[in-house]
Amino acid sequence: MKQRVITGVLAAAVFFGLMIAGGHFYVALIVAMACVALFEYLRMNGMSWYNPLALSAYIGLLSLVLPFQWYGVEWISDMTVVWLLMFVLFALTVFSKNKYSIDQVALTLLGTVYLGIGFAAMIDVRLMDNNALWWSFLAFCSIWASDIGAYFCGRAFGKHKLAPLISPNKTIEGAIGGVASSIIIAIIFAIVAPSFITIGHSAIIGLVAAVAGQLGDLMQSAYKRVRGIKDMSNILPGHGGIIDRTDSWIIVFPILVLSGLIPM
């Protein structure tokens, strides 16, 4: 527990510091996290980083995550990046005479898009023109409020299992507590800055962040259970890997951006 607390405090300090600093510092942090996350994902699926499929995935990931336009570089669309990556991965099955299977191609493409778009959305929100830091804090605090609320409400009131075959410790009562906590925190943001957002709008963000975040957590739990692992890595002692810590972020941020709940 002591190691977990120390790691959590240090990681939070670094993350908050670089998020507040913004710009190149935050971009570098998120890109580094995305690359480590892809490494964890590929390793979980039995691929080394120097595998041609993996190298192609890293190029695709960086093409999705790096904010080229922010640096004044004209860049192709995400759809083009995804299609080109798909083409390259399929071509590798031909050139390798099926040494690299269609199953490996599918897993590689899935992981690259899942992580690439997820981490890219975090950067997009922080680099937006109006009140970027405030919107970033709103999204992150809503997610974290859901996690904390679900944990404590689950421990205090949890009796009915939410998804026993996927994550035995999660309860329906905990999930409800997480949703309530997220909505409350989001509404506080609206009360503090009413010129930025209405209470109704913030409540919806809190609801979406909690539901989507808990689903993102369960999605990774299901995948890890299939692979027979507890954590994606031990890069964060006591907390597991990057994907273990960001599985909800990767889902919530794209939903908030694509739905327009965070006005880009």
Domain ranges of the chain: 1-127, 131-264
What are 74-112's pLDDT values in tens digits?
Answer: 888 999 999 999 999 999 999 998 899 999 999 999 999
What does the mean pLDDT of the chain come to? 93
pLDDT of residue 168: 86
Do the Cβ atoms of 53 and 108 come closer than 8 Å? yes
DSSP SS3 for 262: coil
**Is the distance from CB of 206 to CB of 185 less than 8 angstroms?**
yes
Interacting residues of 153 by C-beta distance below 8 A, sequence separation 6+: 173, 174, 176, 177, 178, 180, 181
Predicted pLDDT at 135: 97
Pairing type for strands 161-163 and 167-171 reads: antiparallel
Q: Which residues of the chain have pLDDT under 50?
A: none
Dist. CA 51–CA 69, nearest whole Å: 30
State how far the Cα of 107 lies from the Cα of 46, in Å rounded to an integer: 11
pLDDT at residue 2, rounded to an integer: 64
